């Protein structure tokens, strides 16, 4: 399990083992734009400010530019956290369900 902190918010998400960043973010009330869910369109991209992740399934070769890769952009539909992370939604996505986030965080705090 890894913690994903959404930069600029007080939101910390605990991801489940093997869970993609996309699923963890959506499960906790973040509206992440989604396209192919197969690493082929880059609609789901976010910027990783801190932390590491891995792609356990392939992504398209040319879907991210070298500049995006250099600044830490990743495809959330395929990325699985391998450490605690800080991510920036960078204006691409929005937090829309704060009530869901509240209940998710409450449930996580009880589980600890």
Given the rule CB under 6 A, which of 7-15, 29-37, 86-94, 103-111 is the region that contacts ligand FES?
A: 29-37
**Structure-block tokens of residue 15:** 């991801």
Q: Does 37 bind ligand FES (CB under 6 A)?
A: yes
Cβ-contact 49, 74 below 8 angstroms: no
Q: Does 32 bind ligand FES (CB under 6 A)?
A: no
- For strand 85-88 and strand 2-6, is the pairing parallel, antiparallel, or unpaired? parallel
In the complex with ligand FES, which residue's Cβ is closer, 42 or 48? 42
**Structure-block tokens of residue 83:** 């450490």
State the minimum distance, in angstroms, from the CB of residue 27 to ligand FES: 16
């Amino acid at each position: 399990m890894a913690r994903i902190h959404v930069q600029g918010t007080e939101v910390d998400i605990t991801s489940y083992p093997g869970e993609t960043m996309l699923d963890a973010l959506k499960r906790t009330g973040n509206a992440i734009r989604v396209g192919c869910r197969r690493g082929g369109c880059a609609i789901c991209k976010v910027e990783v400010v801190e932390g590491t992740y891995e792609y356990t399934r392939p992504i398209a070769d040319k879907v991210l530019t070298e500049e995006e890769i250099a600044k830490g952009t990743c495809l959330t539909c395929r990325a699985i956290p391998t450490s605690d992370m800080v991510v920036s939604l960078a204006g691409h996505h929005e937090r829309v369900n704060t009530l869901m986030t509240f209940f998710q965080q409450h449930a996580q705090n009880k589980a600890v």
